[in-house]
Amino acid sequence: MNIRSVLPFFSIRRRRRPAAGVMRWLGNLMPKGLYARSLIIIIAPMVLLQSVIAYVFMERHWQTVTQRLSAAVTSDIAALIDIYQSYPQDPDTETLSRIATQRLQLDVDILRETSLPPPSPKPFFSILDQALSDELARQIPYPFWIDTVGRSNLIEIRVQIDPYNTMRVLARRSQAYASNSHIFLVWMTGSSLVLLGVAILFLRNQIKPILRLAEVAESFGKGRDIEFRPRGAREVRQAGQAFIEMRRRIERNIDQRTAMLNGVSHDLRTILTRFRLSLALFPDSPEVEDLQRDVDEMTRMLEGYLAFARGDTGEQAVEIDLRVLLKEIKADSERQGHPAELDIVGDPIITARPDAFRRMLHNLVSNAGRYGDKIMISANHETRWLILHIDDNGPGLAPEMREEVFKPFVRLDEARNQDEGGSGLGLAIARDIARAHGGDIFLGNSPTGGLRATVRLPA
C-alpha cells in the first residue's frame, strides 16, 4: 500500500479529534438535570429570537429614524446659516432667533469673538453622535462641535461660520434622536420575562411527577416503601403506572417464593422430626451419633436456605443508632472468643431495616472471626454514604475468587479454613441485604494482612 494514500486518512482523523474534544467540553458544561435542560430548551430559542429582533430593530428602524431626524435638524441649521449670511444687516440676529424659535423649535445664538471648544470625548455607544456628526459634515462646510452627553434632554451644536463668530444651536434631543424607541425594547423584554415565568411555572409542575417517580423508584431499590400515585402528563402517568405494576409483580413473586419455601420447610421439618424421634429410639452408638450430626446439619442448612430466600423483605426501614448496633456486634464477637476493635466517624443515625442490617453485619463479622484471630470494625458516615470496613488478620482471599464467594452455596475451603457446618450462604445473604438497601459489598486486601469486607450503603 502506498503510504501517501494512508496519510490523508490519518490527517482527517487528527482533524476530527479537536471537534470531538470541543463537543465533549460542551457536554461537560451542559447541565445534567432534566429541569435545567428543559429550561435551556425554552430559554435559548426565546433569547435568540429576541436578540435577532433587537438587532434588526436597532440596525434598521432605530438607526434609520435617528439618521432622518438628524438630517432634518442639520438641514434647519444649514438654512439658518444661509439666512445669517444672506442678511448681514441684522447685527443683533433677533430675526434669526425668532424664526428659529417659532418655526424650527431651535434656540439659536451668535457668539461673537468665540472659537470652537476643544473636542470632547465621544461616547462609547451613541447612534445620535455618529448620525449627527455624519449629517453635519455632509451638509455644512464649516467646522463644528457637538455635545450630546452634557445635557440630558438637549443637544448643543456649534458651527464656526467665520473666523470671529460661532453659531450655537440648542435643540431638544427628541428632534434628532428616536428617544421613544426603547419603549419597544422594554415591552419586548417585559413580555418575554412574563412568558418565561409562566413557562417555568408550568414546566416545574410537569417535572415534579418525574422527580417524584424517581424518588419512589430509588426508595423501592433501598427497601423503603413510599405511597405513590401517578400524576402529571399522560406519558408520565403511564410510566408511573408501569412502575406500580412492576413493584406489585416483584412483591408478589417474593411473597410466592417465601410462601412456597415456608411450606417446603414445614414438610422438611416434619421429616427431620421423625428422623430425630427414630434416632432417639436406637441405643447410643457411633453410627447413631453420625446420623444425629447429619440431621443437625440438615436443619442448619434448611434454616440458611430459608433465610436467604426470605431476605427479610417484609421489614420496614427505620432510623437506627449504628453505634449501639456495632457495640452489640462487637460484644457478641468477643463472647465467642474473637477480640474486636470499633471505630465510628460521623453521624451514627442511619435509616435501614434493623433485623436485616444486623444479620448482614453478623454474617460479615462471623466470617471474619472464623478465619482470623482479630477483627477491626470501622464506620464512616460523614457524607450521604455509609462506609463500613470489617477487617481480619486471616489468610485472605485471591483477587480472582472475591466475586465467587458471593454466589449461593459456594464454599472456598481450599482458600481459607474449613467452614464447619456452613452452607455457603453467609456472604450471599449479606450482599443480598446490602443491595436491598441500595448499596453493595466489596472484598479487598486488609491493612492487617487478611481480608477486608467493605459495605457501601446510601444512608
- The domain that holds 135 is classified in CATH as 3.30.450
- Choosing from 271, 289, 307, the residue where a domain stops is 307
- Residue 430 to residue 104: CA distance in whole angstroms: 95
Strand, coil or helix: 408 = coil
pLDDT band at 423, cuts 50/70/90? low
* Domain presence at residue 231: yes
Q: What is the pTM of this model?
A: 0.50
pLDDT band at 6, cuts 50/70/90? very low
Strand, coil or helix: 349 = strand
- Choosing from 272, 287, 307, the residue where a domain stops is 307
Instruction: Supply 78's cell numbers.
Output: 444649514
Helix, strand and coil content of the chain, in percent to the nearest 5, comes to 60, 15, 25
Residue 149 Rama label (left phi>0; alpha psi -120 to 50; beta): alpha
Identify which of 441, 243, 457, 244 has the alpha carbon closest to the alpha carbon of residue 353: 457
Residues 231 and 199 in one domain: yes
Residues 421 and 377 in one domain: yes
Residues 26 and 145 in one domain: no
pLDDT band at 390, cuts 50/70/90? very high
Residues 151 and 225 in one domain: no
Q: Which of 85-99, 199-213, 279-293 has the lowest mean pLDDT?
A: 85-99
* Domain presence at residue 15: yes
pLDDT digits (tens, 9 = 90+) for 281-306: 888 888 888 888 888 877 777 776 66
* pLDDT of 421 higher than 60: no
Residues 250 and 287 in one domain: no
Identify which of 119, 159, 122 has the alpha carbon closest to the alpha carbon of residue 139: 159
* Domain presence at residue 415: yes
Residues 401 and 433 in one domain: yes
Transcribe 92-157 into DSSP letters: T-HHHHHHHHHHH--EEEEEET--PPPPPPPPSS-HHHHHHHHHHHHH--S-EEEESSSSSSEEEE
* Domain presence at residue 47: no
pLDDT digits (tens, 9 = 90+) for 158-183: 888 888 888 888 888 878 776 666 67
pLDDT band at 424, cuts 50/70/90? low
pLDDT digits (tens, 9 = 90+) for 236-255: 888 888 988 888 888 788 77
Transcribe 183-236 into DSSP letters: HHHHHHHHHHHHHHHHHHHHHHHHHHHHHHHHHHHHHHHTT--------SSHHH
Helix (H) or strand (E) holding 398: none
Q: What is the pLDDT of residue 399?
A: 86
Percent pLDDT > 90 in the chain is 6
Q: What is the pLDDT of residue 130?
A: 79
Residues 219 and 265 in one domain: no
Instruction: Supply 1's cell numbers.
Output: 500500500
Strand, coil or helix: 260 = helix
> How many Cβ atoms from other residues are within 10 Å of residue 13's Cβ?
9
* Domain presence at residue 44: no
Sign of CA dihedral 310, 314, 319, 324: negative
Residues 319 and 452 in one domain: yes
**Per the structure, how many domains does the chain have?**
5
Residues 188 and 177 in one domain: no
Residues 280 and 352 in one domain: no
* Domain presence at residue 45: no
Give the burial class of 70: count Cβ atoms within 10 A of its Cβ; 0-12 exposed, 13-18 middle, 19 or more buried: buried
- The domain that holds 290 is classified in CATH as 1.10.287
Q: What is the pLDDT of residue 7?
A: 45
Instruction: Supply 210's cell numbers.
Output: 418525574
Strand partners, 375: 340, 392
* Domain presence at residue 48: no
- Residue 4 to residue 11: CA distance in whole angstroms: 11
pLDDT band at 371, cuts 50/70/90? confident
Q: Which domain range does residue 247 map to?
A: 183-255
372 touches 450 (CB < 8 A): yes
- Choosing from 130, 163, 181, the residue where a domain stops is 181
Residues 335 and 428 in one domain: yes
Residue 341 Rama label (left phi>0; alpha psi -120 to 50; beta): beta
pLDDT band at 313, cuts 50/70/90? low
